[in-house]
Amino acid sequence: MATIQCGATTALLLLLFLFTSSIPKSLSQQEYVNNKQLNCDTEFNSTKGNLCNGVSSSCTSYLTFKSSPPEYATPSSISYLLNSTPSVIAAANNITDVESVAADTLLTIPVNCSCAGPYYQHNASYAIKVLGETYFSIANNTYQSLTTCQALMAQNPFDARNLTAGLNIHVPLRCACPTQKQRQEGFNYLLTYLVSQGESVSSIADIFGVDQQSILEANELKENSVIFYFTPISIPLKTEPPKRIQRAATPPEDSPSPPSPPAADGGSSSSKKWVIVGVVVGVVVLLLVSVAVFFLCLRPRKRKNRATPPGKPFSASTTTETSKKVVDSIPKTHSLSLSSEGVRYAIESLSVYKFEELQKATGFFGEENKIKGSVYRASFQGDYAAVKILKGDVSGEINILKRVNHFNIIRLSGFCVYKGDTYLVYEFAENDSLEDWLHSDDKKFGNSASLSWVQRVQIAYDVADALNYLHNYTSPVHVHKNLKSGNVLLDGNFRAKISNFGLARAVEDQGDDGGFQLTRHVMGTQGYMPPEYIENGLITPKMDVFAFGVVVLELLSGREAISRDKNGTRKELPEIVNQVLEGENVREKLGGFMDPNLRGEYPLDLAYSMAELAKHCVARDLNSRPQIAEVFATLSKIQSSSLDWDPSDDLERSRSVSQISDSR
Ligand SMILES: *[C@@H]1O[C@H](CO)[C@@H](O)[C@H](O)[C@H]1NC(C)=O
Ligand SMILES: *[C@@H]1O[C@H](CO)[C@@H](O)[C@H](O)[C@H]1NC(C)=O
Ligand SMILES: *[C@@H]1O[C@H](CO)[C@@H](O)[C@H](O)[C@H]1NC(C)=O
Ligand SMILES: *[C@@H]1O[C@H](CO)[C@@H](O)[C@H](O)[C@H]1NC(C)=O
Ligand SMILES: *[C@@H]1O[C@H](CO)[C@@H](O)[C@H](O)[C@H]1NC(C)=O
Ligand SMILES: *[C@@H]1O[C@H](CO)[C@@H](O)[C@H](O)[C@H]1NC(C)=O
């Protein structure tokens, strides 16, 4: 269906083109783009930009932009897209810099507009994100028609076929400065407005409190001219635009009132000859298109998902697909959405960094500063911090980390939103993650630098301390949901800090059990997720207790949560510890289970207590698992005993135990 519609659109365009090519030009105002931006293959004067015909060659001008979550919904992210300033957008719309605005809210964006050659424009730049973006999708979908595919092509050296992810596109945005005539009538600004469904010149005039005639004149439109959705139109303003744009309610889809594309352009001297030629051409084109559509439909479905064929006119169906692809490619992992109050609260004590500051601090996100994945080391005047790049809405993580304040939870110091990505700035952990120390092959964490028994117990104690805080001292109760050795960071003194709250949840407090939640989106790390979560999506604090048990087992054994034995059989730590602590020769088996990198330097009795504790934590039945408060109490005893422990006391005995196990 959509394809047939697009055929009709093409025919219509041809018609329009034929009509409008005879419009007389008075260079006093700006020519309306008149849907010609849909025909990317052809250049028109009106699609290249607004003529530089005003009194000044530069001025303050306004763009409008519809909030489109998750990527472009805050003044910060929109300002990077449109090359404005977050605080300027925030002030113009009476919101805060990082406030997320509801979808489709129209924001005004103050920009500096100036002449570049014959056209007024405001320069922005855009890095292509995914394969399949086209000049048209960038102009119409990403930039919401604030620019045109023709202007993009004219000002970029890249062939339309050659657009690849990462490429930086120069984006001229349509803006204008008042002409002599407009100035005389008292107009000081021009605003580029995005026409949307159901709007007319008169309804737009009402929004801004200007008379219809001045809008018609500013766009070289006639009384009976038609305006189109997804086209920009210039609005002359005497004062700054309102802080909140109240659009007329959008009528239902099939409402007869909105002007629809099929109407002819009123500006033409509609001679009958042209009408006939137009209709004939239109019918022929329609026929051709229908035939083409017919054949296209006969072809195998697979082809439909290909990127827009190069150099071909863009049909509605292909471009919608492209935009869908763009949206779908945004990972939904961090989609904890919290109220704007939350973000407002968060910003009160967090620093908002400029992207340039972060670039400088991380050496332009250079390889040498890469810690792991999308985490970089940053240096702010000698103070180190970690910068993590996240996609989409991360207000959830920001909000949780803002509310929690504990020595053993990584501290968030600030953030930055740039081009739809969020950059979170954390306290720096000098010694990387526990995972690196236990399982990495890297020389830095090699055998000789292995963690000692006392350090391991301290780490377990620290993690339990943090979980105890999350489960019992925050309201609502928080469940981390993604505890693993990779998310336990170590500072300069090997004190542990829990990080990565991307999956963390607040759950209803329900007395002793701390509450629960159900989810259908089971996400986490294999080997750390308890059975009730994998099987039923049940989220309770006991989920963290299970993962904690696995981390303790890693600390004891130096093995990974999931490993393979000599025969290649997959083994999980909970299963292994049950075998170790069952039946005969427990001491001996435990000696064999312990991390060889400890070189036997640990008190076997305390190791046994730790293993027993961990075994209870990883019980299949969540009701058999202890509360984290009990775990923490037990661990604090183990910890103080470990501090009293004199390695020489036990050394002989544990040596002999590990020798027995080695010789097996
Ligand atoms: C387009 O603009 C050029 C000058 O910029 C002018 O010479 C030409 O007549 C214009 N074309 C139309 C169709 O208005
Ligand atoms: C700005 O918003 C606040 C509340 O969010 C409101 O009290 C205030 O009147 C608004 N100011 C303007 C100029 O709209
Ligand atoms: C326009 O430029 C001036 C100076 O170059 C700057 O102070 C002002 O903030 C800019 N306006 C906007 C909307 O970015
Ligand atoms: C905008 O870009 C155009 C084309 O690259 C350039 O000529 C012009 O100087 C730029 N304008 C500003 C204000 O940087
Ligand atoms: C496309 O890009 C490649 C390399 O980036 C270049 O060699 C080639 O000439 C480009 N093609 C066109 C048509 O611009
Ligand atoms: C242009 O973008 C709008 C959204 O801004 C979308 O609804 C419309 O379908 C797009 N037009 C085409 C032809 O893809």
pLDDT tens digits, 133-172? 889 889 999 999 999 999 999 999 998 888 887 788 999 9
| Rounded Cα distance, 426 and 386, in Å | 5
The answer to whether residue 63 scores a pLDDT higher than 50 is yes
Within 10 Å of residue 495's Cβ, how many Cβ atoms?
A: 17
Gap from CA of 268 to ligand 1 centroid (Å): 16
pLDDT digits (tens, 9 = 90+) for 204-252: 999 999 999 999 999 998 888 888 888 899 999 999 999 988 876 554 4
pLDDT band at 414; cut points 50, 70, 90: confident
Gap from CA of 149 to ligand 5 centroid (Å): 19
| Rounded Cα distance, 510 and 484, in Å | 26
**Which structure tokens are listed for 199?**
């709007």
Ligand 6: nearest atom to the Cα of 137: 14
Gap from CA of 94 to ligand 2 centroid (Å): 6
Q: Are 510 and 539 in contact (CB under 8 A)?
A: no
Residue type, 426: Y
Ligand 5: nearest atom to the Cα of 158: 14
Which has more confidence, 418 or 147? 147
| Rounded Cα distance, 321 and 127, in Å | 20
Distances (CA, A) of 253 to 35, 151, 198, 379, 525: 20, 31, 9, 54, 45
pTM for this predicted structure: 0.47
**Which structure tokens are listed for 362?**
């991380």
Cα 292 from chain centroid (whole Å): 39
DSSP conformation class of 353: -
Residue type, 522: V
Q: Are 218 and 190 in contact (CB under 8 A)?
A: yes
| Rounded Cα distance, 487 and 551, in Å | 10
94 lines ligand 2 (CB under 6 A): yes
Q: Are 96 and 79 in contact (CB under 8 A)?
A: no
Pick the ligand that lies closest to the CA of residue 5: 6
pLDDT digits (tens, 9 = 90+) for 439-452: 877 656 555 468 99
Ligand 5: nearest atom to the Cα of 162: 1
The answer to whether residue 335 scores a pLDDT higher than 70 is no
- What length is written for the chain? 664
45 lines ligand 1 (CB under 6 A): yes
